[in-house]
């Protein structure tokens, strides 16, 4: 049986290549709205971040998302992102690789 290729994406926070399933996509649409894209299919400029809650706090301090996406990211969005990442990490630890 042929082995399937695993899509890789660069994590903005750790600057490493990781499997796409282990990252979450942040997207900016034409109206400059920043949102979490759990499906990975929203239109707009995207950036990938790892599912590590402590890295999200570091990203907020260094403003790495703002530089990458080219738009001001609010503190409310960072809180939403932190909660989403924390939930996904807990879910992954509980259920394994299933999503």
pLDDT of res. 40: 87
C-alpha–C-alpha distance, residues 65 and 70, integer Å: 8
User: For residue 17, which phi and psi values (nearest 5 degrees)?
Assistant: -85, 130
pLDDT of res. 13: 87
- Name residues of the chain where pLDDT drops below 70: 97-99
pTM of the entire predicted model? 0.84
pLDDT of res. 97: 61
pLDDT of res. 52: 87
Instruction: State the CATH class of domain 8-94.
Output: alpha beta
C-alpha–C-alpha distance, residues 63 and 65, integer Å: 6
DSSP character for 2?
P
pLDDT of res. 46: 93
User: For residue 80, which phi and psi values (nearest 5 degrees)?
Assistant: -60, -45
């Amino acid at each position: 049986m042929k082995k399937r290729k695993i899509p890789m994406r660069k994590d903005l926070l750790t600057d490493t290549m990781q499997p796409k399933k282990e990252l979450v996509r942040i997207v900016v649409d034409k109206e400059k709205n920043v949102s979490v894209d759990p499906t990975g299919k929203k239109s707009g400029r995207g950036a990938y971040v790892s599912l590590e809650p402590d890295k999200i706090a570091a990203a907020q301090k260094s403003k790495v998302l703002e530089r990458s996406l080219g738009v001001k990211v609010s503190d409310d969005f960072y809180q939403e992102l932190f909660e989403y990442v924390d939930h996904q990490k807990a879910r992954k630890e509980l259920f394994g690789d299933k999503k």
